[in-house]
Amino acid sequence: MNYYNEFNPAAAAWLRELISLGVIPDGHVDTRSITEVKAYEIKDYTQCHFFAGIGGWSHALKLAGWPATRPVWTGSCPCQPFSSAGKGLGTADVRHLWPVLFRLIAECRPDQVFGEQVSKAIGKSWLDGVCSDLETEGYACGAVVLGAHSAGAPNIRQRLYWMADADVSGRKQGVQSVSPGLSKRTRRGGKPDGLADADRGQRQQRLRSQGNLLQRSPNDGTTDRLADASSAGLQGRLFGREDEGRQAESGYPGCGGTDCWSHFDVIPCADGKSRRVESGVKPLVGGLSAGVVPSGDPRISDYANRTAEARVMRLHGYGNSIVPQTAAMFITAAM
């Protein structure tokens, strides 16, 4: 059983519908604010999704082939404190809820956590604070900025994707154990602390610098493409240069062997530029055009699809959601 925490009633209703259709795994939808959630209430769930929206992270895990029985947490903290469209209050904004999510992580100690945030949060030291917090709890952290175009979408929509991985065996031994050759640092409270990946010393020692990236050799002696500077971009790191032909044939993760956005129209915009949009979408001039975002559910009548309430709800839901295909690429690289 999974756990979905979503404060917005419309999005929570959407989650329940997606669960009933089998699009995302069965689970409990909690509409309370995350500030009201207690660690003991969620510790027995297999997968926990905070700020769940319309289930983007759950769908991304499925696209990436993450087993439904494998525990994981996800959380896309509110972006308003760091978005260019917001007031720019940063950590002073009451919607800066990372400390609340971190409290739950520290108390429940999930093995893996995936998250997303607007890329501008990096310039406001948000990522530094997240990694610092997680590392004091024995997690190794990684992050990258990816755009929706990385998964073949006809728009950029750049977002910061991050993950935290706990070394369970190392945590049992205590994070104060430090492998030879690895530096110590002082954690909160003045106690010596190893690196976040303390007992993976032999693997850490295999790391070698290659430009601004790191490349390591797994136990089988092959090159790990996750951080291979000789590969071409994220696609190269996922599939390797020798697999570029296979990548072109197979498409992007979760796209059924094709480019999900291969059919598009080009429309002129007010800034003088032209952009690709999904085929059939019309510019929103003088209000929302009927059927601009039709439902994919055949059980829903055409009239229901064309109501203003349905259109606004879908546009709001899609706008606040992650792009699952992009997140799936990040998860695949992490796996």
Q: Mind listing the pLDDT tens digit of every residue in the chain (335 residues)? A: 999 999 999 899 999 999 998 989 999 999 999 999 999 999 999 999 999 999 999 999 999 999 999 999 999 998 877 777 667 667 777 778 999 999 999 999 999 999 999 998 888 889 999 999 999 999 999 999 999 888 877 778 899 999 999 975 544 444 443 333 333 333 444 444 433 343 444 333 333 333 333 333 334 444 333 333 333 333 333 333 333 333 333 455 555 444 566 777 787 777 777 777 767 665 544 444 444 455 666 677 777 766 777 777 777 888 888 999 999 999 999 99
Tell me the two tokens of residue 15: 């989650």
CATH topology of domain 1-166+261-335: Rossmann fold (3.40.50)
Give the burial class of 268: count Cβ atoms within 10 A of its Cβ; 0-12 exposed, 13-18 middle, 19 or more buried: exposed
Phi-psi region of 193 (alpha: psi -120 to 50; beta: other; left: phi over 0): beta
Written as six digits, the tokens of 48 are 């926990």
Task: Please report the DSSP string for 76-140 in residue order.
Answer: ----TTTSTTS---GGGSTT--HHHHHHHHHHH--SEEEEEEEGGGGGGTHHHHHHHHHHHTTEE
Give the residue extent of every domain in the chain.
1-166+261-335
> Quick one: pLDDT at residue 272?
79
Q: What tokens were used for 80? A: 């308003």
HEC secondary structure over 218-277:
CCCCCCCHHHCCCCCHHHHHHHCHHHHHHHHHHCCCCCCCCCCCCCEEEEECCCCCEEEE
Structure tokens at 194: 């190893």
pLDDT value, residue 315:
77
CB 167 within 8 A of CB 197: yes
The answer to whether the beta carbons of residues 322 and 60 sit under 8 Å apart is yes
**CA 148/CA 1 separation, integer angstroms:** 30
Tell me, what's the pLDDT at 193? Answer: 42
Residue type, 43: K
pLDDT attached to residue 301: 72
pTM tops 0.85, yes or no: no
